[in-house]
Structure 1
Amino acid sequence: MTTVLFAISEWGYWGEELVGPLEACDAAGYQVEFVTPTGARPTPLAVSMDPSYADPPQGKSVTSAEMAAKTRDLHAGDRMDKPHDLSGWVPERPYPSSPTYLRDAEEYYRRVERVIADDLPAYDALVIVGGSGAMVDLANNQRLHELILGFVRHDRPVAAVCYGVAALAFARDPLRKLSIIRGKRVTGHPIDYDYHDGTGFEGPHALDGSTTGFGDGYVNFGPPFYPLEFILRDAVGPDGEFIGNVGHAESVIVDYPFVTARSTESSIGCGRALVDVLDHGKRRYGW
């Protein structure tokens, strides 16, 4: 059976950016597993379950009543109660300042190689879910980077939505330090969609595991930490291309092994493209 691994932030994911590809995988009969950075149950962003919320840069609601209900139902169920713990699965990269750095690095690569060789063959694809939380614990998560590099080594597709695409920009061989998407065509959250204010993060992140002292579960960080479009333009290099398709209803790019989707409105298309890659051998789409 085809098995797909979904990587999800613990700081707030956008509902449709999980539901879109997840429903496509379910409809195709795939088995789905989830992984979060520390094994905690992920939390959807409240605004992604609110059809009355108007997205400021687009000046309209980007969440349908149907999609809001699907996100609420998924969150209320037990399907994501026990995600894999990425921190307990993939080792932490050692610091160069360690007095035993060379031996630590050798052991690190031995352990990573065991994950890639022994664990990853069980999975046919990786999906990185978007939402503002992905900026916090997915984009620069070196453990997730190792999974991405491992899927690429196995020639298996990696799909990413919106801010989840940032993890592809930062995933790179630590020796060569070139992005894994260098020379590729990708899409992702464009500068035109960036907030001036209201970039929020959610989840039970207080020391006691509650939301107390964490803005009742929500914190507003104003504009996003970084303009993802600029990072992606730099990451793909002179032989690649960032394709925002701003003004078009959807932006989904397949440049195998990567499937990238611009934002919420392209989440269903991301799932459709991933199924086409897995079941029909699609290698190029959208450019």
Structure 2
Amino acid sequence: MKKVLFVLSEWGYWGEELIGPLEACDAAGYEIAFLTPNGKRPTPLSVSCTPGYLDPPLGRSVTSEEMGQKTRQIDDSNRLDSPKSLADWFPQRAYPSSPTYLRDMEAYYKKIDKIVAEELVAYDALVIVGGSGALVDLANNHRIHELVMGFVKLNKPIAAECYGVSCLAFARDFRDKKSLIWGKKVTGHPIDYDYLDGTGFEGHHAIDGSKKGFGDGYINFGAPFYPLEYILRDAVGPDGAYIGRVGHETSVIVDYPFITSRSTASSVECGRVLVEVLEKGLTRYGW
């Protein structure tokens, strides 16, 4: 039985971007494991549970009754109750200011190599679920970067959706600092789809350590932290390409080992294509 690892933000994931690939993997009979940065239960963004929610850039509803209901159902179930903690699994990288930096980094890479060789081999694919929360705790999370690089080293597929694609742009070996998607064809959240206001986050967070106050419910951050399309265009370099397919309903790109999905509407297609990669050896799609 194939095993797929799903990564979700603790600051709000988009429901359909979990449901699309998850249902495809469930239907294929795969074993599913869930992972969050600190092992906290992930929270769906409320608007991804609200049928009829009008997306300002698109000027139309992006949450169907069916997907809203499915998102609420999985959130009400116990399936996401005990995700694996990335912080407990992968070590913290040492600061260069450490007086024992060289020895620390030698130990660090030994631990990483051991995890890849002995533990990541148990998984057949990685899925990074999108949603605005990925901007907060996934994009620049060096443990996520090491996880992605581990799957690349093992030549296993990595699917990333929407803002989850940011992890691929920033993932790179700390020693040469070159993006893993250099020279690759990718898609991801385009500038045309960015909010001018209303980029929101939700989850169990607070400055004082409680689950009330900051992060208790929806927070409007305004525009996104960064325009992902521009970052992806720079990250792939002159021999790669960002393929937004703006004007088309969906955009899913396979340039093995990467499967990238533009946004919410592409989630079901992303799941279907992931299964084709695992079952049929698909290595190129959408370009």
TM-score range, shorter chain: over 0.9
Q: Name the aligned partner's letter for residue 49 of structure 1.
A: C
The corresponding residue for 1:95 is 95
The corresponding residue for 2:245 is 245
- Equivalences for residues 201-240 of structure 1 within 5 A: 201-206=201-206, 207-210=208-211, 212-214=212-214, 216-240=216-240
The corresponding residue for 2:135 is 135
- Structure 2 stretches lacking a partner, 5+ long: none
Runs of 4+ more than 6 Å apart = none
- Post-superposition Cα deviations, 1:113-153, rounded to whole Å, max 9, x if no partner, equal 11111100000000000000000000011001001000000
Q: Name the aligned partner's letter for residue 67 of structure 1.
A: M
Post-superposition shift, 1:208?
A: 4.1
The corresponding residue for 1:34 is 34
Post-superposition shift, 1:176?
A: 1.2
Q: Name the aligned partner's letter for residue 51 of structure 1.
A: P
The corresponding residue for 1:10 is 10
CA contact (8 A) 2:204 2:215 kept: no
Residue 34 of structure 2 is aligned to residue 22 of structure 1: no
The corresponding residue for 1:180 is 180
Give me the TM-score of the superposition, normalised by structure 1: 0.98
- Structure 1 stretches lacking a partner, 5+ long: none
Whole-angstrom distance in 2 between the partners of 1:53 and 1:82: 29
The corresponding residue for 1:196 is 196
Post-superposition shift, 1:216?
A: 3.6
Residue 259 of structure 2 is aligned to residue 277 of structure 1: no
Tell me: CA distance 1:98–1:208, structure 2 relative to 1, closer, same or farther (3 Å). Answer: closer
CA contact (8 A) 2:130 2:161 kept: yes
Q: Name the aligned partner's letter for residue 246 of structure 1.
A: V
Q: Name the aligned partner's letter for residue 244 of structure 2.
A: G
Q: Name the aligned partner's letter for residue 152 of structure 1.
A: V
Whole-angstrom distance in 1 between the partners of 2:57 and 2:221: 16
Secondary structure of the residue aligned to 2:35 is: strand
Post-superposition shift, 1:209?
A: 3.8
- Post-superposition Cα deviations, 1:235-277, rounded to whole Å, max 9, x if no partner, equal 0000000000001011000000000000000000100110000
Q: Name the aligned partner's letter for residue 147 of structure 2.
A: L
Secondary structure of the residue aligned to 1:246 is: coil
- Equivalences for residues 153-168 of structure 1 within 5 A: 153-168=153-168
Whole-angstrom distance in 2 between the partners of 1:217 and 1:205: 9
The corresponding residue for 1:85 is 85
Number of residues paired by the alignment? 286
Whole-angstrom distance in 2 between the partners of 1:241 and 1:276: 23
Percentage of identical aligned residues: 67
The corresponding residue for 1:169 is 169
Post-superposition shift, 1:53?
A: 1.4
Whole-angstrom distance in 2 between the partners of 1:53 and 1:32: 29
Tell me: CA distance 1:215–1:204, structure 2 relative to 1, closer, same or farther (3 Å). Answer: closer
Q: State the superposition RMSD in angstroms.
A: 0.8
Q: Name the aligned partner's letter for residue 263 of structure 2.
A: S
Whole-angstrom distance in 2 between the partners of 1:209 and 1:83: 20
Give me the TM-score of the superposition, normalised by structure 2: 0.98
Secondary structure of the residue aligned to 1:217 is: coil
